[in-house]
Structure 1
Amino acid sequence: MDWKAVSPYNPKLDLKDCYLYDTTLRDGEQTPGVCFAGDQKLEIAKKLDELKIKQIEAGFPIVSENERKAIKSITGEGLNAQILALSRVLKEDIDKAIECDVDGIITFIATSPMHLKYKLHKNLDEVEEMGMKAVEYAKDHGLFVAFSAEDATRTPLEDIIRIHKNAEEHGADRVHIADTLGCATPQAMYHICSELSKHLKKAHIGVHCHNDFGFAVINSIYGLIGGAKAVSTTVNGIGERAGNAAIEEIAMALKVLYDHDMGLNTEILTEISKLVENYSKIKIPENKPLVGEMVFYHESGIHVDAVLENPLTYEPFLPEKIGQKRKIILGKHSGCRAVAHRLQELGLEASRDELWEIVKKTKETREDGTEISDEVFKNIAEKIIK
């Protein structure tokens, strides 16, 4: 049996050299109310490294001394992933990042007319000059440099091309299209990335998508289709406002639906999801795609009958591939096959008439408001089986 079941209409993408860089420890931590302790940051970083993420954005060094200590503990761990830090286009920010022994920085400044007028009170030429000086300064210190145009998806395309082409000429290794408000459509992200890619010679394009309209994952994928090489992610999709592109959704959508394996150790996705859930204190909905507690649970009799024959009838891939587990739930929709399966698991034998009676009583019990735990089910069965 194969491990996945997908639509024959899905395209196979040629995404050579594409990779993910994770910002759980920076943008994820900027979720209101989230504050990772230093040892928690280190543990998450180590787990991201085990996941085989190429780059980890470990934090924002200028924020505090404790932030710098946490980042330095990560850079001192000898992880395989490159460790990046965020900095504004300011020398003092870059110097603080250098003090943390990071491999590179993501330096950013806003470029949209809205941000220029109401936040920065500068024109684009002034902002561009600040950005180029920052890129040049960081490159002079031997860093990997990604230049990010904040609010890029509300910036005129000619300005996006101009400033990112200039960043490449000043040594930027990667330039970012930041959908800061999550207001781009997949078609817009594709168009921006495809047009920008025509004007760059070697710098990679990265996409950093927010989820305000629920488009972060699909926008990221359309960015890749348009020519981007890197995607910014967070575990569980945490981040400011509605969050960022969820790493588990990006990784598995590409692997399962688009037949492109990013080379990640996906079997620990659920483990790292629960780790971040615990430390962030942001509860994962039980039906959250892929890593939710109940997404591989089955109750409906029609579904259960088929799943017991072949799980791929009602599962897009085998749950073990991301460290999940399948579970047959008993309730008002359960049929004989599910009940017989649970009886067998509990080591109980019932005649056909007894089985029908157990099914009937199970349905009635659930409709009366009682959840069918193993203990409840066992009590039902033992009262009926003679």
Structure 2
Amino acid sequence: MISYRPGRNLLEEDPYQYELQDVKEPELFRDLYSYDAIPKTVFNYRNVPMQMPAEIWITDTTFRDGQQSTSPFTVKQIVDIYKLMARLGGKRGIVRQSEFFLYSDKDRAALKECQDLGLKFPEITTWIRANEKDFELVKDAGVAETGILVSCSDYHIFKKMNLTRAQAMDKYLGIVKSALSHGIRPRCHFEDITRADFYGFVVPFANELMNLSKESGIPVKVRMCDTMGFGVTYPGTSLPRSVQGIVYGLNHHAGVPSELLEWHGHNDFYKVVVNAATAWLYGASAVNCSLLGIGERTGNCPLEAMAIEYASLRGTDDGMDFTAITDIARYFEDELGYIIPHNTPFVGRSFNATRAGIHADGMLKDPEIYNIFDTAKILNRPARVSINNASGLAGIAYWINDYYFLPDEHKIDKKDDLVVKIKEIIDAEYAAGRNSIWGDDELDSIIRSIDHNKHREFVAFGRVKKGN
């Protein structure tokens, strides 16, 4: 079949119409996934074209997939986080949607309170299993779109649901038709796509969904769920693990347009961010994330990471408020008691802090030498220095200037007598067996004990800077 491809302005040939292969035995790809060994990365040297969509965005699963890995959020906490998420995404809705559970009274109350805020973005959507009982909850929720779990690997179809491929497809199409009959946009979650028979089930099923979409005039979305984090992005890798191959294949062979393609990945093999970015690059408009990457096992793609990645790929923040990232991290720590590893990019307490004296010396001369970007301006997180046995005079001086917001004309030099005396105390502590870093309160107390008057001057500068 020859067809004209908008966007590329060329005629393309797709000579084969993929149909369901209703096999008797499950295809478990034992050559790739033997279970008693590390999954194999195999190459067939087939490369597909990069085709970044005209518009890309982020969707959120913090209150659905993310919340399954943490202590349950209260209604107030969900509302607070939702508002912070809206602030991060900005008026253009770069954070486009957020999905909610519907199974408990608390879930439904939180959804209703977020709806009552009247915010355009993120649009509130839901998630259900592929059955009519769950769909009744969607009809009562007043949402325009719902996710529907449609597991697509034989691991799930044969081993979990005890169905054949034909039975699974029939079951899935039935609930999608129910959604369409009520004017609700279905978002089909192709669970475990990186272990699925791509041409024997995934593409034929997507073809059926696109036919339903054309008949109804209602968009049907496909979420490509890398449930186990098996996706890889190396050029020339084979399906079903190739991220770019999956995106291209659904777009080219099943005719799923970019705006209806969404990637959802997990971080089991440390590839979650690069996999999501690759999905964007090769034709998916949406990537699904959670705040701080919370989620089952190793977690989802961190939403804040993809917000930064968006700006990197587009060259603009398109109205996003990155300072909300810092406020989100503080809310998770202070309100939820969530422990963020200190070295987590963008949100960890030490992500832009240095402890090495030679680095601190560079920071004293110009923060740009060792800071990834102007974190004070972009994230409202000034570069910091943590004090330990390796910080040296430069580290102590930088800490003083930073902690008390000292203006340039009052900044302390690393040769200052106060800095030398502080270092003597610190060195003595480590010589006596200390092995932990110094807290801000400890250092503040040392300065007060050494020079009370200078300490009062420092504190006064800090109050002016903070507006107190």
TM-score range, shorter chain: 0.7 to 0.9
- Gapped regions of structure 2 (runs ≥ 5): 1-49, 214-218, 235-241, 455-468
Structure 2 equivalent of residue 207 of structure 1: 263
Q: Percent identity?
A: 24
Q: Distance in 2 between matches of 1:168 and 1:91?
A: 21
Structure 2 equivalent of residue 79 of structure 1: 119
2:443 aligned with 1:374: yes
Q: More displaced, 183-192 or 341-350?
A: 341-350
Counting only pairs closer than 5 Å after superposition, residues 346-361 of structure 1 correspond to structure 2 as: 352=415, 354=417, 357-358=420-421, 360-361=423-424
Q: Distance in 1 between matches of 2:420 and 2:330?
A: 39
Q: Offset of 1:259 from its aligned partner?
A: 3.8
Q: Secondary structure at the match of 2:263?
A: strand
- Quick one: structure 1 residues 284 and 374, their matched pair in 2 at CA, closer, same or farther if it must change by over 3 Å? same
Structure 2 equivalent of residue 197 of structure 1: 251
- Quick one: structure 1 residues 263 and 128, their matched pair in 2 at CA, closer, same or farther if it must change by over 3 Å? farther
Q: Distance in 2 between matches of 1:330 and 1:65?
A: 48
Among 214, 227, 233, the alignment partner of 1:186 is: 233
- Quick one: structure 1 residues 285 and 340, their matched pair in 2 at CA, closer, same or farther if it must change by over 3 Å? closer
Counting only pairs closer than 5 Å after superposition, residues 1-386 of structure 1 correspond to structure 2 as: 14-31=52-69, 33-52=70-89, 53=93, 54-61=95-102, 63-81=103-121, 82-158=123-199, 159-171=201-213, 172-187=219-234, 188-199=242-253, 200-202=255-257, 204-256=260-312, 259=315, 261=317, 263-278=319-334, 280-320=336-376, 321-342=378-399, 345=404, 352=415, 354=417, 357-358=420-421, 360-367=423-430, 368=432, 369=434, 371=438, 373-378=442-447, 381-382=450-451
Q: Distance in 2 between matches of 1:357 and 1:277?
A: 35
Q: Distance in 2 between matches of 1:353 and 1:73?
A: 56
Q: Distance in 2 between matches of 1:18 and 1:353?
A: 52
- Quick one: structure 1 residues 34 and 169, their matched pair in 2 at CA, closer, same or farther if it must change by over 3 Å? farther
TM-score, length-scaled by structure 2: 0.72
Give the letter for the 2:272 counterpart: A
Q: Distance in 2 between matches of 1:260 and 1:318?
A: 15
Give the letter for the 2:342 counterpart: E
C-alpha distance after superposition, 1:7-45 (max 9, x if no partner): xxxxx99552110010101111111x5211122212211
- Quick one: structure 1 residues 351 and 45, their matched pair in 2 at CA, closer, same or farther if it must change by over 3 Å? closer
The alignment covers a number of residue pairs equal to 371
Q: More displaced, 335-344 or 295-304?
A: 335-344
C-alpha distance after superposition, 1:50-83 (max 9, x if no partner): 222543334221x223322222222222111211
TM-score, length-scaled by structure 1: 0.86
C-alpha distance after superposition, 1:57-113 (max 9, x if no partner): 34221x223322222222222111211000112222222112111221011121101
| Mapped contact 1:291–1:324 kept (Cα < 8 A) | no
Give the letter for the 1:354 counterpart: D
C-alpha distance after superposition, 1:253-307 (max 9, x if no partner): 3324774646422221111123234555431111111100111212322212222
Q: Distance in 1 between matches of 2:151 and 2:74?
A: 29
Q: Secondary structure at the match of 1:95?
A: helix
Q: Distance in 1 between matches of 2:276 and 2:400?
A: 46
Q: Distance in 1 between matches of 2:107 and 2:419?
A: 62
Q: Secondary structure at the match of 1:207?
A: strand
| Mapped contact 2:392–2:423 kept (Cα < 8 A) | no
Q: Distance in 2 between matches of 1:262 and 1:42?
A: 24
Give the letter for the 1:324 counterpart: R
Q: Distance in 1 between matches of 2:322 and 2:197?
A: 38
Q: Distance in 1 between matches of 2:412 and 2:62?
A: 50
